[in-house]
Structure 1
Amino acid sequence: MRILLIEDSARLRGLLCEAIRDEGWKIDAFETAQEGRVALREGEYDLLLLDLGLPDEDGIDVLKSLRDAGTQTPVLALTARGAIDERIAGLDAGADDYLAKPFHNGELTARIRALIRRSPVTSMPGLLELLMRNGGKVVAKARIEHTFSEFGDERSSNAVELAVSRLRKRLERHNTHLSIETIRGVSYLMREVRD
């Protein structure tokens, strides 16, 4: 699972990244709404953790614009605004859930799991999930690299090839009738194999 965090407090950002990585999830974290918007345009995320008190734009406005643009990514709003009318405003603006600061990391990760369970996208592991979501369509190697690395990480091109090779072996071992084809060395295609 890949999560986007937009939070202006460097200390809280660091703590949240640590808690999320401890769960085995990938996270990209940014300080401003503008940086977060760029990340959303360039990447695919399973969940957005959004602080509503950002320095460059109000989080409610960010939520409204994302939903107006058709973004379906589940959003968990994080904020020090604890009053009931402010929570209602966040939910009405498009948040799927709301967590008032301060909160316990255990509650945060439980809410993330609950949102993902409710998400229409299934949560099969990693590469298999990505290829099955795009069954019958070509998936660029660069997209796979992006999905499995955090923002700014360098990944060797061999990492994707190795992962695909291992997945192919597992699919064959379990007689799944699925194959992964390499397209010109830069893309992959999963399709069902007919007997």
Structure 2
Amino acid sequence: MRILVVEDDEGIAGGLAATLRGAGYAVDISPTLSAAWTALHVEAFDMVLLDLGLPDGDGIDWLRRLRQEGLHLPVLILTARDALPDRIAGLDEGADDYLVKPFDPGELLARMRVALRRSEGRASPVLRHGDLEVDPAAHTVRRAGALVPLRAKEFALLLALLRASGQVLTRQRLEEALYGFDDALESNALEVHIHHLRRKLGNELLQTVRGVGYYVPRADAKPLPAGPA
């Protein structure tokens, strides 16, 4: 999952990035609204964490424009503005949640999980696929009740594929979900993670459409044809 942090305070932005990366998210930081707008239109993000008082404008106006253009990804406002009218305005303009600084990192991560779950139309916090159970909060994976240890990128890749179950995700989309602008990325990194997941979870779970990408079939669906290389 890739998160865009819109925050001009370097200390706060750095702390948020460390917290999010520690939880397995890929993170990019935009110190201005214009930079954030550009980032959203050239890369795929799963969520925005938005400050309101930015050097080039107000986050509420930016959020209003975002929703008017039909961008529906979850947005959580993180701000020092604690007045009730500000909270109401943020939520009315399309924010999925509103947290007042300072806040506990654990609460932020929990609210992020709720917002992502709502955006996917899920009620349960645990993702299930056949005998596979994935708990994003606990960062655990179980197959037929047995714990399967995964590394951070493997876990993030599995989540991305399960959340899009039945859809083929291109290599580019998966790399965007796993790595930020500043992350080092080796040319075969994605294939290595796929190989490790198949070794730990079985070859049948992760399917390849050659020349296109990868997907997890829906539990009741037949695999798609592999297609041309």
Q: TM-score, normalised by structure 1?
A: 0.83
Residues 1-195 of structure 1: pairs in structure 2 closer than 5 A: 1-120=1-120, 125-131=155-161, 133=164, 135=166, 137=168, 139-169=169-199, 172-173=202-203, 175-176=204-205, 179-183=207-211, 187-190=212-215, 192-193=222-223
Q: Secondary structure at the match of 1:8?
A: coil
Name the count of aligned residue pairs: 188
Q: Structure 1 residues 165 and 121 mapped into 2: Cα distance closer, same or farther (>3 Å)?
A: farther
Q: Within 1, Cα distance between the matches of 2:171 and 2:42?
A: 15
Higher helix share: 1
Deviates more, 1:43-52 or 1:116-125: 116-125
Q: Within 1, Cα distance between the matches of 2:117 and 2:82?
A: 26
Gaps of 5+ in 2: 128-133, 135-154, 225-229
Q: Secondary structure at the match of 2:53?
A: coil
- Percentage of pairs with the same residue: 42
User: What amino acid is aligned across from residue 160 of structure 1 in structure 2?
Assistant: L
Conservation of the 8 A alpha-carbon contact between 2:2 and 2:176? no
Q: Within 2, Cα distance between the matches of 1:121 and 1:154?
A: 33
| Per-residue deviation, residues 124-154 of structure 1 (Å, max 9, x unmatched) | 75334545627464x4323322221111223
Conservation of the 8 A alpha-carbon contact between 1:5 and 1:29? yes
CA-based RMSD of the aligned residues comes to 2.5
Deviates more, 1:49-58 or 1:22-31: 22-31
User: What amino acid is aligned across from residue 120 of structure 2 in structure 1?
Assistant: P
Q: Within 2, Cα distance between the matches of 1:121 and 1:127?
A: 20
Q: Structure 1 residues 147 and 136 mapped into 2: Cα distance closer, same or farther (>3 Å)?
A: closer
Conservation of the 8 A alpha-carbon contact between 1:135 and 1:189? no
Gaps of 5+ in 1: none
Q: TM-score, normalised by structure 2?
A: 0.72
Conservation of the 8 A alpha-carbon contact between 2:2 and 2:179? no
